Structure 1
């Protein structure tokens, strides 16, 4: 899907100077908000933004001030994986 946003040229140029690609910044804000609201998961954030790893995705969310949606089931899964890794 492609969305067009109308912003006065002088404001768009100023924002583009501060943030680099304005369209990328808008996409990042929308995706971070969607994740924060529970509309997309970390895998979808990674896919939409074409991030290279889970860690890069987590770093992106941290930079955007969004806490990870990390529930008890995910904690249990991580603990089990750690125990398997340690050979316990």
Structure 2
């Protein structure tokens, strides 16, 4: 899919946009927003941006888009740890 963004020339000149990377920057901003609103998973971010798992982690941290980790996730992890330590 191709999307066109119209920016008034006065802003393009003032922002001194590097047009070679503008498309990538717009895509990254879109993906970060979609991740933050939980419309995309980290794996989907990687697929869209052609990044491996470690690169995705770095990319999301760089854009202050942190792991979605809920209290329920924490409680599940705690329960798993307790089960594992009891088995030892």
Q: 1:14 aligns with which of 9, 13, 16?
A: 16
Say which SS state the counterpart of residue 18 (structure 2) adopts: helix
Q: Which residue number in structure 2 is paired with residue 24 of structure 1?
A: 24
Q: Which runs of 5+ in 1 are unaligned?
A: none
Say which SS state the counterpart of residue 61 (structure 2) adopts: helix
Runs of 4+ residues over 6 Å off in structure 1? none
Structure 2 distance, partners of 1:35, 1:14, is 28
Q: Which protein shows a greater Rg? A: 2
Say which SS state the counterpart of residue 15 (structure 1) adopts: coil
Task: Provide Cα deviations, 1:36-85, integer angstroms capped at 9, x if missing partner.
Answer: 001000010000001023x11011011111111123565556x96xxx9x
Q: Which runs of 5+ in 2 are unaligned?
A: none
Q: TM-score, normalised by structure 1?
A: 0.70
